[in-house]
Amino acid sequence: MNLKALHKIGYGLYIVGSKRANRFNGQIANTVFQTTSEPPTVAVCINKQNLTHEFIKESRVFSASVLAKETPMKFIGQFGFKSGRDIDKFQDVKYKVGATGAPIVLENTISFLEAEVINNVDVGTHTIFIGKIVNADIIREGEPMTYAYYHEVKKGKAPKTAPTYIKEEKPKEAKKMEKYVCTVCGYVYDPDAGDPDSGIEPGTPFEELPDDWVCPICGAGKEDFEEEISS
Ligand code: FE
Distances (CA, A) of 133 to 98, 110, 121, 205: 12, 17, 18, 48
Give distance in angstroms: CA of 116 to centre of ligand 1.
34
Q: Please, what is the average pLDDT of the chain? A: 88
**What spacing in Å lies between the alpha carbon of 57 and ligand 1's midpoint?**
29
CA of 15 to the centre of ligand 1 (A): 19
- Alpha carbons 56 and 53: distance in angstroms, whole number: 5
CA of 77 to the centre of ligand 1 (A): 8
Lowest mean pLDDT among 101-105, 205-209, 218-222: 218-222
- Please answer whether residues 104 and 15 qualify as being in contact, where contact means their C-beta atoms are separated by less than 8 angstroms: no
Residue 156 CA, ligand 1 centroid: distance in Å: 12
* Torsion on CA atoms 75, 80, 84, 90, rounded to nearest 10: 20
CA of 96 to the centre of ligand 1 (A): 28
- The rounded Å distance from CA 74 to ligand 1 centre is 10
Contact 76, 67 (CB under 8 A): yes
Sheet strands side by side (includes 188-189): 188-189, 180-182, 225-227
**Interval 140-187: pLDDT, tens:** 999 999 988 887 776 533 233 333 233 434 444 455 789 999 888 888
For residues 12-23, give the mean pLDDT: 95
* pLDDT for position 231: 56
Whether the predicted pLDDT of 80 surpasses 50: yes
Interval between CA 98 and ligand 1 midpoint (Å) = 31
Instruction: Report the separation in Å between the CA atom of 198 and the middle of ligand 1, taken as the mean of its atom positions.
Output: 14
Measured in Å, residue 86 CA sits from the centre of ligand 1 at 16
**Å from CA of 165 to ligand 1 middle:** 30
Task: Report the distance separating Cα 154 and Cα 185, nearest Å.
Answer: 14
Over the stretch 82-125, which tens digit does the pLDDT of each residue have? 889 999 999 999 999 999 999 999 999 999 999 999 999 999 99
